[in-house]
Amino acid sequence: MATITSHSPAETFAQGRALAASLRAGDILALDGDLGAGKTHFVKGIAAGLGCEGDVTSPTFTLVHEYTAGRLPLFHFDFYRLESADEVLRIGLDDYLGVGGVIVIEWAGKFPALLPAGTRWFHLRAGDGDTREIEEVQRA
Ligand SMILES: Nc1ncnc2c1ncn2[C@@H]1O[C@H](COP(=O)(O)OP(=O)(O)O)[C@@H](O)[C@H]1O
Ligand SMILES: [Mg+2]
């Protein structure tokens, strides 16, 4: 995926939905970008693209939302409120990595060392007005 310019929340959603078509079990997507950059809209599109629309999120978890009604299970994490790598380990990221679903992590750049090689990184950036750039970046 090259850099894409989105002009509306719906377009960001549609980009996530389009990306979902190519996702396979075990894929890990790491999203970075400031508050309001569109990360959550992008994830909602991914969920829709996997067929998870209307799925109920588990109220048991505050740091991971599980969408299990689609083509592949989607585990949606957000590191925003986490302050240490220890906390990430405590929510069981490692367990999810082995399940064979798709993992998407907002604010992944806070703890990049916890993510395995092969993780795909996306940077989202707010521009003028409703413009948002979505860029897939190569990261070692
Ligand atoms: N092109 C766009 N793509 C996504 N969100 C947009 C866009 N233009 C405006 N917005 C607004 O920006 C905010 C993005 O919120 P959200 O997806 O929760 O971002 P994040 O998860 O990165 O904090 C929403 O209020 C949305 O309506
Ligand atoms: Mg968000």
Task: Give the H/E segment covering residue 31.
Answer: strand 28-32
Q: What is the pTM of this model?
A: 0.93
Q: How many whole angstroms from 126 Cα to the centroid of ligand 1?
A: 8
Burial of 60 (0-12, 13-18, 19+ CB in 10 A): exposed
Residue 72's nearest CA partner among 106, 36, 27 is 27
Q: Whose CA is nearest to atom 18 of ligand 1?
A: 40
- Domain borders along the chain are 4-137
1 has a pLDDT exceeding 70: no
- The per-residue pLDDT for range 82-137, each reduced to its tens digit, is 899 998 888 888 888 888 899 999 999 999 999 999 999 999 999 999 999 999 99
Angle of helix 9-20 relative to helix 39-49, nearest 10 degrees, comes to: 40
pLDDT band at 18 (very low <50, low <70, confident <90, very high): very high
- The per-residue pLDDT for range 21-70, each reduced to its tens digit, is 999 999 999 999 999 999 999 999 999 999 987 655 544 456 788 888 89
Q: Whose CA is nearest to atom 16 of ligand 1?
A: 38
Determine the CATH number of domain 4-137: 3.40.50.300
